[in-house]
Amino acid sequence: MKLRGGYNVHLAGRPTNEVRDLPAPERLYLPLRSRRFTFSEIDVTDGQKVACGDEIAKDPGNFNVPLLAPYAGTVRLDALEGHVVLEDLDPAAGCSVREHDESAERSRYDPAVSEWKRRMLLELGAWQFFADAHTGTPLDPSGTPGAILVTTVHLDPHVARGDVLLRGRLDEFARGLEHLQSFLEYQPIYVAMSDIRTDFASEVREKLRGHAFVNLVAVPRRYPYGHPVALARHLGLTPSLENPVWALTTAGVLAVDRVLTTGTPAVERIVAVGGPAIDAPTHVRTVVGQPIHDLIGGHVTEKPVRVVNGGIMTGGTVGPEQKGLCAESTGLTVLVESTTRPFLGWIRPGWGSRSYSKTFASEVRPAFPEKINTALRGELRPCISCGQCVDVCPAGIMPNVIHKYIYAHDIESTIDTRVDLCFECGLCSYICPSKIDLRQQFIDAKKEIQAELEALLEEVEE
Ligand code: SF4
Ligand code: SF4
**Which amino acid makes up residue 16?**
T
How close is the Cα of 398 to the center of ligand 1, in Å?
Answer: 9
Contact yes or no for 160/274 (Cβ under 8 A)? no
Residues 6+ apart with CB under 8 A from 376: 435
Q: Does the pLDDT at position 414 exceed 60?
A: yes
397 Cβ inside 6 Å of ligand 1: yes
Query: Within 55-169, where are the H helices?
Result: 111-123, 162-166
Ligand positioned closest to the Cα atom of 441: 1
Least confident of 132-141, 225-234, 280-289, 333-342: 333-342
Q: Whose CA is nearest to atom 8 of ligand 2?
A: 383
Q: In which order are the strands placed within the sheet that holds 49-50?
A: 28-31, 83-90, 72-76, 49-50
Domain boundaries, the chain: 19-95+267-336, 130-262, 380-457
Q: Whose CA is nearest to atom 3 of ligand 2?
A: 383
Q: What pLDDT score was predicted for residue 378?
A: 59
Q: Does the pLDDT at position 195 exceed 80?
A: yes
**Residue scoring higher pLDDT (322 or 188):** 322
How close is the Cα of 8 to the center of ligand 2, in Å?
Answer: 18
Strand partners, 221: none
Q: What pLDDT score was predicted for residue 139?
A: 97
Q: Whose CA is nearest to atom 4 of ligand 1?
A: 393
428 Cβ inside 6 Å of ligand 1: yes
Mutate to test the pocket of ligand 2, among 347, 357, 388, 405 (most ligand atoms within 8 A of CB): 388
**Which amino acid makes up residue 456?**
L
Q: Does the pLDDT at position 220 exceed 70?
A: yes
How buried is residue 99: exposed, middle or buried, by Cβ count under 10 Å (0-12/13-18/19+)?
exposed
How close is the Cα of 380 to the center of ligand 2, in Å?
Answer: 12
Q: What pLDDT score was predicted for residue 355?
A: 80
Q: Does the pLDDT at position 97 exceed 90?
A: no
Secondary element (H or E) of residue 172: helix 170-181
Indicate the average pLDDT of the chain. 91
Q: pLDDT-derived band of residue 96, with 50, 70 and 90 as boundaries?
A: confident
CATH number of 130-262: 3.40.50.11540
Q: Percentages helix, strand, coil for the chain, rounded to the nearest 5? A: 30, 20, 50
CB 105: neighbour CB atoms within 10 A? 12
